[in-house]
Structure 1
Amino acid sequence: MFAALPVPEEIHPGLIQTQTGLSGARWRPPRNFHITLRFFGGVSHADARDLDELLAEISCAPFEVSLEGMGWFGRREPSAVWARVRESDALRALSAQCERAARRLGLAPDRRPFTPHVTLAYLHGTLLDEAAAWVERHHAYRSTVFWAEGFHLYSSHLGDGPSRYVAEADYVLG
């Protein structure tokens, strides 16, 4: 399970246009575009109910979001390419509140630094130079500004093809 902001459909076409020209890329379908606030992992049904209650207590005003530039994960062997989310205090605060909810539930702290992004592809066998060149080609990418007015608690379901994400609970900001 994970908490995430949805990426509005009007942003999808610009992201889709970047999804080309990278060997070893498994491009993510637009229905999977989101901005992860906190990954929780596998949790029991009881913990999921408790997590829902904790996330429902989060207080945050709606805020503006935009995507600016690209990046990749994996220092020596790239594992994913993504669109960078412009940093904001509101986004960091919302992520921190999701982190506090996870800790109150008893989950271990997230050891990775919060890097707001929209995953565009998972990579397999992609050379570092090729990932860097792809990022450079798309460095000027900018989305229009959109409003984060709510977030979801998603479950992830594996199967043939890309994972399927289901919004299990909705939380309105404001």
Structure 2
Amino acid sequence: MRLFTAIDLPDGFQDEVAALQAPSALDARWTDPDQFHVTLRFIGDANAEQTARYEQALADMTAPPARCKPYGLDVLPSRRSPRVLVLGLERTASLVALYEAVSGALEREGLSLEDRDYTPHITLARVDDTASETVHAFLRTLNAHSFPAFRADQFVLYESTLAPNGAAHDAQAVYSLNG
């Protein structure tokens, strides 16, 4: 199983983000709005025994709800080399605390330490072969759009199945934030 943990978007917020997807304005592989999420920690491939340990560690974990505050459209990995169009989220104290709690619980069960900084975001599209100038022009057309903050009261352990038209994410377990 290929696993990751994530925060789901509220329904109204999900619809608002989906409205940004204008396939005619940018040649990209757009993310299905039903698959929108804020990744907390990517786990990767796990066997049944590892999965059971991760599930239990996450169930035993306590953390308070997280405040998710979008700052606007952005690209990853960099402006010079855009490959992924995202709605970026601020690293609020509560979101970083949740990331650290999830990471700590998983790492105590043998998951490797994360080798990069946590960059919370919602993936909107993959723009692999699109010229950076085209991507930046698209961003400029939407730069005045703002999104409200939302509160995450739970997170999900997902199984991700790769397919030619994109990954499909299936919830394996849902965890309430109650700390």
- Give TM-score, length-normalised by structure 2: 0.89
Give identity over the alignment, percent.
Answer: 29
Task: Tell me, yes or no, if the aligned pair for 2:65 and 2:177 is still in contact at 8 Å.
Answer: yes
Indicate the larger mover: 45-54 or 157-166. Answer: 157-166
Gaps of 5+ in 2: none
Deviations 1:100-138 (A, max 9, x none): 123212222111210010000112201122222222322
Deviation at residue 63 of structure 1 after TM alignment: 3.4
Partner of 2:99: 95
- Bigger mean CA offset, 125-134 vs 32-41: 125-134
Residue of structure 1 in register with 2:48 after alignment: 45
Residue 8 of structure 2 corresponds to: 6
Displacement of 1:81 in angstroms is 0.5
Deviation beyond 6 Å, 4+ runs, structure 1: none
1:70 correspondence with 2:73: yes
| Rounded Cα–Cα distance in structure 2 between residues aligned with 1:140 and 1:96 | 32
What is residue 108 of structure 2 aligned with on the other side? 104
Per the alignment, in what secondary structure is the counterpart of residue 18 of structure 1? coil
| 8 Å CA contact retained: 2:64, 2:98 | no
Q: Which stretch shifts more, 150-159 or 121-130?
A: 121-130
Instruction: Give the 3 Å change call, closer, same or farther, for CA 15–59 of structure 1 in structure 2.
Output: same
Superposed displacement of residue 146, structure 1: 2.2
Give the distance between the partners of 1:128 and 1:160, measured in 2 at CA. Answer: 24
1:118 corresponds to which of 115, 122, 132: 122
Which of 113-122 and 52-61 deviates more? 52-61
1:36 paired with 2:39, answer yes
Residue 17 of structure 1 corresponds to which residue in structure 2? 19
1:160 is displaced (CA, Å) by 4.3
Unaligned runs of 5+ in 1: none
Query: What secondary structure sits across from 2:19 in the alignment?
Result: helix
- The more displaced of 102-111 and 112-121 is 102-111
Partner of 1:165: 169
Q: Provide, for residues 9-59 of structure 1, a one-character-per-residue CA deviation record: whole Å limited to 9, x for no partner.
A: 111222122112222x10001111000000011111110110011111221
* Residue correspondences, number: 173
Determine helix, strand or coil for the equivalent of 1:14.
helix
Distance (Å, rounded) in 2 between the aligned partners of 1:153 and 1:125: 31
For residues 65 and 12 of structure 2, the distance between their equivalents in structure 1, rounded to whole angstroms, comes to 18
Give the match's secondary structure for 2:45.
coil
3-state secondary structure, aligned to 2:82: coil
**TM-score, normalised with respect to structure 1:** 0.92
Distance 1:121 1:45 in 2: 31
